[in-house]
Amino acid sequence: MDKIKKQEAGYWIVAGGLNLDILAKPTGDFRLRDSNPGHIGERPGGVGFNIVRNLALLDEKVYFLTAAGDDRAGHFLFERAEEKGIDMSRALTSDRYPTSRYLAVHDPSGDMAVAINDMVLFDRLTASDVKDWTLLPPGCLGAIIEPNLPGEVLFELAASWKIPLFADAVSQAKMDRLLRVLPFLTGYKLNRIEAEHLTGIPVRSVEAALEACRRIRERGVQMVCVSLDIDGAVFADGRSAVWGRPARLVADANTTGAGDAMATAFAWAAARGISLEDTARLGLAASSLAVESEEAVNPLMTTAELNRRAEEIEVEVLL
């Protein structure tokens, strides 16, 4: 495949969630209904943040359309995002609702025992709150949206923008917020569970994923990516379909953020007019990089490394 280089001008938009992730892990056996000695850490998180961070690592100028409270957590998140090269100048600050928080307690092996997500700030956003977001300066290369924002906000943005528009389904619980947006989408990334929820097709094979892609495209989406976990992903547009597979599997892989990385690279490549086969290679390459990091976003993600890893991805033409 041809090497992908940084574009000389332009910027990206990401509209989505930003959380303060509070992660706790005991140093000994985990005991319910008791105080457990352990370690507690804080870091920026959220699907929107993961996507915008990946784009910044690919040397793209990116504006993050998100929100936080006017509190310690919000100030911390904005500072960390700006340190990562993310432009927060168009993000909202609320004096009414607190910054979104995600609290997770893990057992000694690292598996999540319980988690609570408080995103009332995003749940209360309305279309009138984001009117300024609908106005984009010239030079926008594309936008990625995700349904941690309410459905009316997503529709307001999608109906206003005339740019390549991509979406990450995020979860079965929230993806219905994107239903009215589907006809506006250039590309849509889902996993097999999300694709089954949208189409009613049990996605247990490559053939089923291909049929799910066809049905999603019938709803107005131009390009579809359905990820199949360790079996790779199926990519389809109006002309062809391909199945991409990683060249190697990572033992004890950290899958947190792998889907966000794939969604990022899918949009990044498709907006450039890259062929479907090479878009699949880049999407799988980004996902394979993500699972090798203990963090949700691999700090080693670069354009050069993504190009190198893409050469290792196997792609089969289905249509």
User: What size, in residues, is the chain?
Assistant: 319
Strands ordered across the beta sheet of 19-26: 38-45, 19-26, 101-106, 112-118
Distance CA 106, CA 24 (A): 6
97 in a structural domain? no
Distance CA 47, CA 294 (A): 16
258 in a structural domain? yes
In total, how many domains does the chain have? 1
Contact 62/48 with Cβ under 8 angstroms? no
Distance CA 70, CA 42 (A): 18
Domain range for 258 = 173-319
244 in a structural domain? yes
Distance CA 184, CA 219 (A): 10
Query: In the prediction, which pLDDT does 134 show?
Result: 98
Query: In the prediction, which pLDDT does 113 show?
Result: 85
109 in a structural domain? no
Query: In the prediction, which pLDDT does 215 show?
Result: 98
207 in a structural domain? yes
Contact 2/269 with Cβ under 8 angstroms? no
* Triad 114, 120, 121: Cα angle to 5°: 125
Query: In the prediction, which pLDDT does 9 show?
Result: 85
146 in a structural domain? no
Instruction: Tell how far CA 29 is from the center of its chain.
Output: 33
Query: In the prediction, which pLDDT does 194 show?
Result: 97
197 in a structural domain? yes
Using a cut of 0.75, tell me whether the model's pTM lies above it: yes
Query: In the prediction, which pLDDT does 254 show?
Result: 58
Distance CA 113, CA 31 (A): 11
The CATH number covering residue 180 comes to: 3.40.1190.20
pLDDT truncated to tens, each residue of the chain (319 aa)? 767 766 668 999 999 999 999 989 899 988 889 999 999 999 999 999 999 999 999 999 999 999 999 999 999 999 999 999 999 999 999 999 999 999 989 888 777 788 899 999 999 999 999 999 999 999 999 999 999 999 999 999 999 999 999 999 999 999 999 999 999 999 999 999 999 999 999 999 999 999 999 999 999 999 999 999 989 999 999 999 999 998 766 644 557 789 999 999 999 999 999 999 999 999 999 999 998 888 889 999 999 999 999 999 999 999 9
Q: Which residues pair with 241 in a beta bridge?
A: 236
Containing 281, the helix (H) or strand (E) segment is helix 276-290
Contacts of 310 (CB under 8 A, 6+ apart): 1, 278, 281, 282, 284, 285
Q: Which residues pair with 45 in a beta bridge?
A: 19
Distances (CA, A) of 319 to 42, 234, 285: 46, 11, 22
238 in a structural domain? yes
